[in-house]
A and B are shown apart, each in its own frame.
Chain A
């Protein structure tokens, strides 16, 4: 089947409306796609026209906002970056695992963002702000590559069993990647406090390096490596 023709795509979608349904169920539904429909999100938009009770989040439709993360055929991905024609059918769509479902494919991200905020995701620098900007050398700036690009879609944290078991205590891969982004930043002055904040059997050391996070990250980032760097800094500080 060519991507350039009209074609029908089969879906199996997790549906749950707590106001109407006693329990979640899987809905079998198919939709005809137009030639211009390339991504899974395009298909979801078509589906929404067909059945407007289907609820999902979307915004930028180009992999920048991180709204349309969902579990596609068992793997967490962004609908807007996933080629619909490359997926085996029926395409099974479920909400991100481990977070409470609000409705259909929409999950409650409160816990995820709580962990993100707990690492103080902002530059801490008590020196008076310079006239123009706080400068870094190109090498210092290079350190932040692979860290700052995170869009907080939650694909990684919700594929992490340690986060499933302890979402209230384990910071999770996304939060820890962000934590290292500020630890690695030469303009930040709170490195010690940040390491103190993470030196904890739950907050950091629930990570057992299974690398599900690396496997699913739609931006190709490596939270496991960042977590390793945090541990390395703790070792350097301690021995």
Chain B
């Protein structure tokens, strides 16, 4: 087979914006979390549980995790695209990365809504 270079998938802008937007969400969440921990000073398991059992905290924590996983997806995919040349291996790595990140998202939800 003639190994022709194919390029021109016409996507990328959405991911580029998403990477920046998710970074902002994570930064804002970090400030909120530090403020909340600073204000409440939880020093027992119950206090920590109470902090995350709050509806708003639960929502923004989950938003943080979703942002983290989406951000990680774009970043890790960039690494595979930069360094892994064989298309088949790259595709497998992409799929594995998605599975792992979706799994983490489900796990994060399970932990948060167990509180």
A contacts, CB < 8 Å to B? 161-162, 165-166, 168-169, 196-197, 199-206, 208, 231, 234-235, 238
| A200 and B11 contact, CB distance less than 8 A | yes
Q: Which of the 9-residue segments B35-43, B78-86, B102-110 touches chain A?
A: B78-86
- On chain B, the residues within 8 Å of A200 by CB distance are 7-12
Interface size class of B (residues with CB under 8 A): 10 to 19
Main secondary structure of the interface of A (DSSP, over half): loop
The 10 closest A-B pairs by CB, nearest first: A205-B12, A201-B12, A169-B7, A165-B82, A234-B13, A168-B5, A202-B7, A199-B10, A200-B8, A200-B9
- On chain B, the residues within 8 Å of A169 by CB distance are 5, 7
| A204 and B12 contact, CB distance less than 8 A | yes
- On chain B, the residues within 8 Å of A238 by CB distance are 13-14
| A231 and B5 contact, CB distance less than 8 A | no
| A196 and B10 contact, CB distance less than 8 A | yes
- On chain B, the residues within 8 Å of A161 by CB distance are 82
Task: Return A67 CB to nearest CB of chain B, in Å.
Answer: 27
Q: Which of B6-28 contact A (CB under 8 A)?
A: 7-17
B contacts, CB < 8 Å to A? 5, 7-17, 78, 81-83
Q: List 10 A-B contacts (CB under 8 A).
A: A165-B82, A165-B83, A200-B9, A200-B11, A201-B15, A201-B81, A205-B13, A231-B13, A235-B13, A238-B13
Residue of B nearest to A201 (CB): B12
Please measure, in the bound complex, the distance between the C-alpha atom of A162 and the C-alpha atom of B12, giving whole angstroms.
Answer: 15
**Which of B8, B78, B83 contacts A208 (CB under 8 A)?**
B78
Residue of B nearest to A203 (CB): B7
Please measure, in the bound complex, the distance between the C-alpha atom of A114 and the C-alpha atom of B15, giving whole angstroms.
Answer: 27
Task: Return A129 CB to nearest CB of chain B, in Å.
Answer: 31
| B82 and A203 contact, CB distance less than 8 A | no
Residue of B nearest to A238 (CB): B13
| B81 and A202 contact, CB distance less than 8 A | yes
Residue of A nearest to B81 (CB): A201
| B15 and A205 contact, CB distance less than 8 A | yes
